[in-house]
Structure 1
């Protein structure tokens, strides 16, 4: 290696004919016939000569080539092969160029088994799809910091508090997923963003519900026998959620028991834990009335295809001038068990499909209280169908 450095000037390089020229210190330029060329650094590492390309001329200027040559000379002087070190750095850079959208999709795919119905409904992914990925989806995950997250979620942080929190939770999972893949990410970026955003002002509002004393009058007013009214009646009688009821398939009913598949039950991760719903005599009567409307085995079929939508029952109640929502009947039922019966808490919670108790308690509790629930649901059915002679509640149609 020549000890003399910086032999060229920019004009000298430009005017040079085709050939190989040394700038000193191992930096060479190989000129071609059309005035272009390439920069090459020659160094000796572990007793062998290495030639390292530093870029094309004139895209890489003489000044830039000298800076690069100086950097890689120092690497070689430390006994490290500069070519191998640069290749390693390039691989790391490529690894860290994974975009957030790609990471989010991969994280979603790896968690499908934990989600109800493999997450087909999109509820896990939609907070990201709607509120995060439009702004950060094309950003390399390794470049995302707390300020990016804060600026992305700030517009909905107070106005749509629950949605913003879900988006933040999903984003936290994505960043941890990226870390598990070996990417260089700030694992605490989401928590830092939450600190920057501050406490949410939004107040959680409970779903409006009819008082349990008003439910029998409403139930008895559902007398026209339409699919929507029959669905509402069975919803009230069983205290289940809307989704498993709307997708009720006739082969799920055996005798006076309706078995809801585990994947259709919210919050139940154990794929073998189906939920048995005891059907009162009134519930069985409603099912028989609904059978003529069934299509493809689905009891509450939609007008054209599929099943009735989640909004169908809510719109019906709107037309009736009732502020309460269908989901609120679960609350009405639970209040009735607490105020008008001596039902043990475990039995009442199991009626709603809730899993109550600590992990140790649940490990030893093997009963689903089916017989106790059967008696309670029969009593609820009688309550709903017995006219209240002392109080008449006007509910507009």
Structure 2
């Protein structure tokens, strides 16, 4: 087949041809429309079957470009390959390598929601990525992200905000593994190599300051004005719970002298799917009765506007008093008090007072108890000690 039989059309003809199908030769056709536009189409036969594939619109692809594309596709046919399937394969491969980190991160987060407290609505899992990684790497295809990219993104916080940087790197590693599971071409060692480039963090972790247990009764007595903040702090001290479940305490969670915290609201109880029961001493029940006067929508500790009091409300009160200790530290106060004044308390019971999960999943499967009554005795003794000065 000569060049002349192949190239039947000219650039001038292409612009002036009437509506209809016009052959350029070699299976290349121009389909002109009534509106003057058109489409380049290539007809080939592969495996005894005729195939038609589009090569682009007349407005975007010139006659010369259409002929070059047709020649490439005919070459595939000579290799006994279906050009349409080959193009689909190329597009799939291109799509794999063009997935952006922001897309992969969102998909990874969605797939892990069921594992996260409250389905991750608080944003604690995603926020390290959202704040420190995605602004710099989010628009990059995951296949192009290297250890140097990760290093440069995390270097500003690696020493100054070590724990946040660690979480960000951990979440990014999960995203890279998720991308690999999707079939994307990624470097699964990039995060480890970035960590090596960043070096050992100079930051030293510090425990949250805790009030010595001997000073707790005096502080408890000073919380006497009956406000939401004072009552919340008193109940926090009496129960030894974290501030999150305390701030979100709803009247429906209290039945008699037991407060049941939903399992998904408890931190550090991975593998423990059941709810957590908190025994309420008479002193705690009295505080709850006082808090009911402030209740709004069933929430015992509402904020002045909407929702519940913030995580900083109780901390700010202690800060204004010039105290270095913070509310979370009362859990340590309680644990130290148990260790020093009730040394015969079994370790499992003492840890259960703080809602800690001990032992392996297998051991817990056989030991089906939350030590409620043993904890009740401990917490009533603690309440008696704490409220002695009131």
TM-score by length of 1: 0.81
3-state DSSP class of the match of 2:327? coil
3-state DSSP class of the match of 2:380? helix
Tell me which moved more, 368-377 or 263-272: 263-272
Q: CA deviation at 1:290?
A: 2.1
Q: CA deviation at 1:247?
A: 1.0
Query: 1:147-197 deviations in whole A, cap 9, x for unaligned?
Result: 322222222122111111111222222222223333333333322322332
For 2:265 and 2:121, the matched residues in 1 are separated by 12
- Name the residue aligned to 1:98: 99
For 2:49 and 2:234, the matched residues in 1 are separated by 86
| 2:302 matches 1:301 | yes
Q: 1:47 to 1:271 in 2, by over 3 A?
A: same
- Name the residue aligned to 1:252: 253
- Name the residue aligned to 2:358: 356
- Name the residue aligned to 2:263: 262
Q: Which runs of 4+ in 1 moved over 6 A?
A: 13-22, 26-30, 37-44, 47-71
Tell me which moved more, 369-378 or 298-307: 298-307
- Name the residue aligned to 1:287: 288
- Name the residue aligned to 1:170: 171
- Is the CA contact 1:262–1:270 (under 8 Å) kept in the aligned structure 2? no
- Name the residue aligned to 2:229: 228
For 1:367 and 1:212, the matched residues in 2 are separated by 28
| 2:97 matches 1:87 | no
Q: CA deviation at 1:358?
A: 1.8
3-state DSSP class of the match of 1:101? helix
Q: CA deviation at 1:384?
A: 1.2
Q: CA deviation at 1:141?
A: 2.6
Q: CA deviation at 1:288?
A: 2.1
Q: CA deviation at 1:53?
A: 7.0
- Name the residue aligned to 2:139: 138
Query: 1:118-152 deviations in whole A, cap 9, x for unaligned?
Result: 21111111111111111222222333232322222
| 2:149 matches 1:148 | yes
- Name the residue aligned to 2:124: 123
3-state DSSP class of the match of 2:277? strand
Q: 1:48 to 1:109 in 2, by over 3 A?
A: closer
- Is the CA contact 2:271–2:361 (under 8 Å) kept in the aligned structure 1? no
* Count of equivalent residues: 379
Tell me which moved more, 60-69 or 104-113: 60-69
- Name the residue aligned to 1:324: 325
Q: CA deviation at 1:315?
A: 0.6
Query: 1:31-84 deviations in whole A, cap 9, x for unaligned?
Result: x9xxxx999989875567878777789988999889877866664443323342
Calculate the aligned-residue CA RMSD, in Å.
3.4
- Is the CA contact 1:42–1:50 (under 8 Å) kept in the aligned structure 2? yes
3-state DSSP class of the match of 2:213? coil
TM-score by length of 2: 0.83
| 2:372 matches 1:377 | no
- Name the residue aligned to 1:386: 388
- Is the CA contact 2:97–2:184 (under 8 Å) kept in the aligned structure 1? yes
Give 5+ residue unaligned stretches, structure 2: 33-37
For 2:124 and 2:130, the matched residues in 1 are separated by 10
- Name the residue aligned to 1:391: none
Give 5+ residue unaligned stretches, structure 1: 389-397
For 2:319 and 2:24, the matched residues in 1 are separated by 85
Q: 1:21 to 1:293 in 2, by over 3 A?
A: closer
For 1:222 and 1:166, the matched residues in 2 are separated by 36
